[in-house]
Structure 1
């Protein structure tokens, strides 16, 4: 009986952890709605879709090579990280639209955030 109870508690705990890490939380929930890896000279994924009011997080890890995130169009001067080799940068998108960004030192690195 103790083994069944322990197994049941483990299954319930695992289910709670999985449902709590869905990756679809908005900024108010504390978790980013989308995570973009910045490594291998690319933003991965290069395009994400989120809802208005949600946050995107960029995670930098490209073997010491510095990159940034710089918005184009209406986000020019607003969406702008420092040059980073590691760490994260977050931005909350408050308006719907399609927003492009690039890496200043590597202009071939481009990405898009689609906000519904």
Structure 2
């Protein structure tokens, strides 16, 4: 019985000391990607709540890792909106993509992309509001 308790204790110590921290660690990412040269701003345009009006500007955005991969959605409308991926997306470094609720008028949502990807997104309460962001490797 004592050997069983010692064996289980050793297993728990090994798991929590070596395996668990490694599995929870964020991947190694270049400092140039973590601190891009500039931010990329996508405006939620005034009147976006009205179907047929411009909504996310630019509607089809393309950003480059190391240059402008920190993206900020700025709500300039007088209605709350969301940034919700059409298909769930998780960046290995930054986690789940999508605003954690509504973005109130005058507020922002930002996300640091660290991997190449193409993500279509929409506004949950206003499904006609759609956009797409493409994250590419630095071309230079």
Contact kept? 2:88, 2:97, Cα under 8 Å: no
Q: How far off its partner does 1:73 sit?
A: 2.0
Contact kept? 1:38, 1:60, Cα under 8 Å: yes
Contact kept? 1:71, 1:78, Cα under 8 Å: no
* Partner of residue 80 from structure 1, selected from 98, 110, 123: 98
2:110 corresponds to 1:105: no
Unaligned runs of 5+ in 1: 1-24
* Partner of residue 58 from structure 2, selected from 45, 58, 76: 45
Contact kept? 2:36, 2:65, Cα under 8 Å: no
- TM-score using structure 2 length: 0.56
Structure 2 matches for 1:54-69, cutoff 5 A?
Answer: 54-63=69-78, 65-69=79-83
Which structure has the bigger radius of gyration?
A: 2
2:113 aligns with 93
- TM-score using structure 1 length: 0.67
1:71 aligns with 85
CA distance in 1, matches of 2:59, 2:108: 16
